[in-house]
Amino acid sequence: MAFWNNDQPDATPKPTARVTPPQPPVQPAPPPQPPQAQIQPQAQHPPQPQAKTPQQVQPQPARQSLEERFGMMMKNSARTPAIDLAIQISDLVLEEAVANRASDVHFEYHGNNLRIRFRVDGILQDALVLPRNQNIPITQRLRVLAGFDPEPPATYRTEEGRFQKILSGRPIQVRLSAFPTINGEKLVLRVLDRTQMGLNLDQLGLAPEALDTLQKIIHSPYGIFFVTGATGSGKTTTLYAMVKTVSTPMINIITLEDPVEYRLESINQAQINHKTGFGWGEGLRTILRQDPDIVMVGEVRDKETAEISMRAALTGHLIFTTLHTISAAGVVERLFEMGIPPFLIASSMLGSMAQRLVRKVCPQCSVDAAPPPVAAVEEFVKSLDPVEAKSVKDIIYADGGRFKVEKGCPVCRGTGYLGRVGIFEMMIMNEVLRNQVLEHNSTDVLRRTAVQNGMRTLLMDGISKAAAGQTTIAEVLRVTATMV
């Protein structure tokens, strides 16, 4: 799919610490304007300072890498007790993970090595490879912090725990999961940084119209609203932002989660515990006897949870929950599959919102780009609904487009991206959609109707953010590939 032309000025990160005077680099000529320029010329803004010279990418001394810091630690550890060394190494890895905005840290054994990887902006990256040393109990140290026995159990059992560390002067919560593999135990640490969860609705990346609509939804007197998307797409962050927005002393808000990711002030949070028989169904029935105004259900996983939630929405409660589907319209089909009757869906559902996270271009090194060629766009939109295809073309060829492509610099560790932003599609129920639900229409029919009624799809929202210079078209297509 040649929808995006990456022929840009040299995208290879250039050295920032030295310049070799004997052989000055030849400045590349500006790329020729593509033939589609007469349809929508690229906005010729004055050259941005961050893209002008690579030297401006390094305003401060380069931070030592994790490998360098580990090497220095090992040089000075001749007489350090093994357990103290394990504590120092584990703290070093966690500090580096927080500094690099990692959401997850993977510890995994492969042969004679312990491999450590960080998930940054949704992408796994190698962080450190250590020789396997039975005398330095790194994973045992992490197990003890999480409340486990130091050694893995002889027979498999689910082990999940959490602990808190003060890193970089602020408390960081860590959730740990252990899993046995043939090479040794694998640990995955979810890094829960409260400063990253303090987002309000207007910080999620919603378009102004979508934000206004969502504000009206979460202030409805009753009904159920679904947030849907893949694992790691930011659904919990969105739910917490919704709950925080409506939280006042006059409202009783209760959440049911598995697990509780962050502790929220003034919110009554409960965690599922299957070992004690406290499951989703029992938890919801108990919550409804607690005089709630708003209930946040972490996830609808089965018919019992869905039916209790939707019937509660009909009896005067406002329910926020999540579901695993790839689109907003797909929620209805998923509820059909669970066995929920159409009349219950049509009468209780306020709407649904699908979301994904796309990486934002690095502001230090991103490069201006022309819109994609007309021929490539025309070929691409052939697979789209006609209304959606027209909207995509209108967004691409609108005046003032500021398309970017990634380049790579020390600030973004050579990836060309720094941080993430959400893309969304919101389907709000109306009379036409409710009738189609009662007729048990398919997801395609519901989606087409919603688009005709003004719904902005994930692809449309992503292309709009690419045209605004927040991300790249290549990144939007990577994330929405299953949608087109």
pLDDT at 479: 93
Structure tokens at 454: 């003004």
pLDDT at 198: 61
3-state DSSP helix/strand/coil % of the chain, to nearest 5: 35, 25, 40
Torsion of CA 166, 168, 170, 174, to 10 degrees: -50
pLDDT at 70: 79
Sign of the torsion angle spanned by Cα atoms 192, 195, 199, 205: negative
Residue 317 Rama label (left phi>0; alpha psi -120 to 50; beta): beta
Torsion of CA 265, 266, 272, 275, to 10 degrees: 90
User: 148-162, pLDDT tens digit by residue?
Assistant: 998 888 777 778 898
Q: Where is 264: in which H helix or E strand?
A: none
For residue 466, CA distances in Å to 30, 361, 404 come to: 22, 9, 7
For residue 406, CA distances in Å to 50, 60, 186 come to: 13, 22, 33
Q: What are the structural domains of the chain?
A: 80-195 (3.30.450.90), 198-483 (3.40.50.300)
Query: Exposed, middle or buried, 347 (CB in 10 Å: 0-12/13-18/19+)?
Result: middle
146: phi then psi, degrees, rounded to nearest 5: -85, 0
Structure tokens at 300: 């609808």
| pTM of the predicted model over 0.85 | no
pLDDT at 118: 96
For residue 53, CA distances in Å to 43, 364, 365, 367 come to: 21, 10, 9, 12
User: 44-55, pLDDT tens digit by residue?
Assistant: 344 444 433 333
How far apart CA 341 and CA 94 sit, in angstroms, is 48
Query: Exposed, middle or buried, 308 (CB in 10 Å: 0-12/13-18/19+)?
Result: buried
For residue 124, CA distances in Å to 49, 66, 97, 120, 195 come to: 31, 16, 12, 6, 22
Q: Of 410, 422, 421, 474, which is closest to residue 100 (Cα–Cα)? A: 410
**DSSP assignment of 269-319:** EEE-BGGGTB-HHHHHHHHTTS--SEEEES---SHHHHHHHHHHHHTT-EE
How far apart CA 170 and CA 174 sit, in angstroms, is 13
CB contact set of 211 (below 8 Å; sequence gap of 6+)? 201, 202
How far apart CA 4 and CA 156 sit, in angstroms, is 48
pLDDT at 195: 65
Residue spans of the chain under pLDDT 50 = 1-2, 5-61
9 within 8 A of 404, measured Cβ to Cβ: no
Query: How many Cα atoms sit within 13 Å of 224 on the Cβ side?
Result: 29
State the DSSP code for 16. Answer: S
Coil, strand or helix at 122: coil
Q: Of 124, 87, 86, which is closest to residue 104 (Cα–Cα)? A: 124
pLDDT at 482: 59
Coil, strand or helix at 241: helix
How far apart CA 64 and CA 296 sit, in angstroms, is 43
